[in-house]
Amino acid sequence: MAATVFLSMIVLLLLGFPMMIPLIVGAFIGFVTMFGGLGQMETMIQQMMAGIRPASLIAVPMFIFAADIMTRGHSASRLIDLVMAFVGHVKGGLAVSTAAACTMFGAVSGSTQATVVAIGSPLRPRMLKAGYKDSFVLALIVNASDIAFLIPPSIGMIIYGVVSNTSIAELFIAGIGPGLLILVLFSIYSYIYAVRNKVPAEPKASWRERGRAFVSALWPLGFPVIIIGGIYGGIFSPTEAAAACVLYALLLEVVIFRSISLMDVYSTAKSTGLITAVVFILVGAGAAFSWVISFAQVPQAMLGAIGITEMGPIGVLFVISIAFFVGCMFVDPIVVILVLVPIFAPVVDGVGLDPVLVGTIITLQVAIGSATPPFGCDIFTAIAVFKRPYVEVIRGTPPFIFILLCVAVALIFFPQIALFARDLAFR
């Protein structure tokens, strides 16, 4: 059954159906075959609701809203001017800054989707103006946001820790090494890209200009203070920080800068709602689809078929990597972790793998998967926010996914990338 379902989904996708239809049809076929008819369709509705319900998802519309207000007003450009005053003269400097900003923002917000919109929407126009190709820019934003999953706090690691009974503190520390490694590799690639594509560098800013840029960015610098200070200072959860950013953005742009009118606020809220709906209906449909996979015990059947219990540790790690990577190409990372981790637990235990290493690998894989076609949710978000065609959003991703997969393989053969910091701190 599984093969038929996947095949029909891919065909519908390629024909150009709205993306929700392949997911809905996949779930629908599952329900009809499992329950011999339409008798249990209400559970499909239940699971679509369950998919959009998690409290952590609320951060997504809030960051979309805040970023949109900042971009329409002055805040975003003043912040970017400040960054440019320091790195504009470096080859690939803007790209590296974007990657670094995604890492930093992702680290605190913990959400890859929120990172795509909050960093991507202000920085993308500037990168285009600087001469980067859109396919590169979109791929950089979508993939750099993956790092958000590896740098603490990471909701993926918390869920893994709870399900697999692993120290979350150790997982958090283990994620930093691979996270920074990816940032470094993305930066190198960005530099090479800038050199090879002859992206022009700007003239070096004087200290006087830098000072002026700093002064003009004083108010907008409140955003990083709210996000980083607020979350680490114990004032906000990431979701609440997102809502606080909305409020601060309104204060700056409507009251202080007077750059946008209340009517603009209304239409921004409307477009935020629209983007949210377009992405969330896919998240909901994906949840219904993954319920079918879980209920039918498809993963158990597949793992049994490949004989995972006969494999050694390296083999098991490869199977885990592939399973999570493929899983997240179709459904939400959290759901994949919840469904697959218990299935792998006995095998991981059996071959004596370090659960912290496994957790780091899994977190990396779900991050990669969420940025990988066909159904990676970061791709949906980028399409909805930047209003670019699907193909354009994914065109530039192969080099990034290649780098990420290299890191994933390296992690299997050199677990010290993750475990070095952990051993230093805990052993």
Among 295, 298, 302, 405, binds other proteins (CB under 8 A): 295
Using the Cα atoms of residue 369, residue 336, residue 172 and residue 276 in order, give the sign of their dihedral: positive
244 binds other proteins per the rule CB under 8 A: yes
Tokens of 399: 């080099």
Among 26, 106, 110, 376, binds other proteins (CB under 8 A): 110
b/e per residue, 106-122, with b = 16+ CB within 10 A?
Answer: bbbbbbbbbbbbbbbbb
247 binds other proteins per the rule CB under 8 A: yes
Closest distance between Na ion and the C-beta of residue 220, in Å? 23
Alpha-carbon distance of 125 to 275, in angstroms, equals: 18
Among 2, 17, 180, 222, binds other proteins (CB under 8 A): 17
Residues engaged in binding Na ion (CB under 5 A): 107, 110, 112, 145-146, 148, 151, 154, 370-371, 378
User: Quick one: which of 386, 339, 397 has its CA closest to 186?
Assistant: 397
Residue 396 gets which letter from DSSP?
Answer: T
Residue pointed to by tokens 């946008």: 260
Among 9, 83, 194, 243, binds other proteins (CB under 8 A): 243
Choose among other proteins, Na ion, none what residue 148 binds, the Cβ cut-off being 5 to 8 Å by kind: Na ion
Sequential DSSP letters for 215-260 = HHTTTTTHHHIIIIIHHHTTS--HHHHHHHHHHHHHIIIIIIS--S
User: What size, in residues, is the chain?
Assistant: 427
Alpha-carbon distance of 20 to 311, in angstroms, equals: 38
Alpha-carbon distance of 147 to 25, in angstroms, equals: 32
Amino acid at 59: A
Q: How many residues bind other proteins (CB under 8 A)?
A: 105
Choose among Na ion, other proteins, none what residue 43 binds, the Cβ cut-off being 5 to 8 Å by kind: other proteins
Is 42:84 a contact under the CB 8 Å cutoff?
A: no
229 binds other proteins per the rule CB under 8 A: no
Is 139:98 a contact under the CB 8 Å cutoff?
A: no
25 binds other proteins per the rule CB under 8 A: yes
Choose among Na ion, other proteins, none what residue 371 binds, the Cβ cut-off being 5 to 8 Å by kind: Na ion
**Span from 43-51, 88-96, 177-185, 304-312 in contact with other proteins (CB under 8 A):** 43-51
Residue pointed to by tokens 């990083």: 224
Residue closer to other proteins, measured from CB, 27 or 85: 27
Site for other proteins in 157-186 (CB under 8 A): 158-159, 161-163, 165-169
278 binds other proteins per the rule CB under 8 A: yes
The C-alpha angle with vertex 259 and arms to 256 and 263, in degrees rounded to 5, equals 110
242 binds other proteins per the rule CB under 8 A: yes
Residue closer to Na ion, measured from CB, 264 or 392: 392
396 binds other proteins per the rule CB under 8 A: no
What's the chain's Rg over C-alpha atoms?
A: 22
Among 234, 255, 352, 427, binds other proteins (CB under 8 A): 234
Choose among Na ion, other proteins, none what residue 401 binds, the Cβ cut-off being 5 to 8 Å by kind: none
Closest distance between Na ion and the C-beta of residue 426, in Å? 20
Closest distance between other proteins and the C-beta of residue 197, in Å? 21
Helix 313-330 / helix 298-306 crossing angle, nearest 10 deg: 150
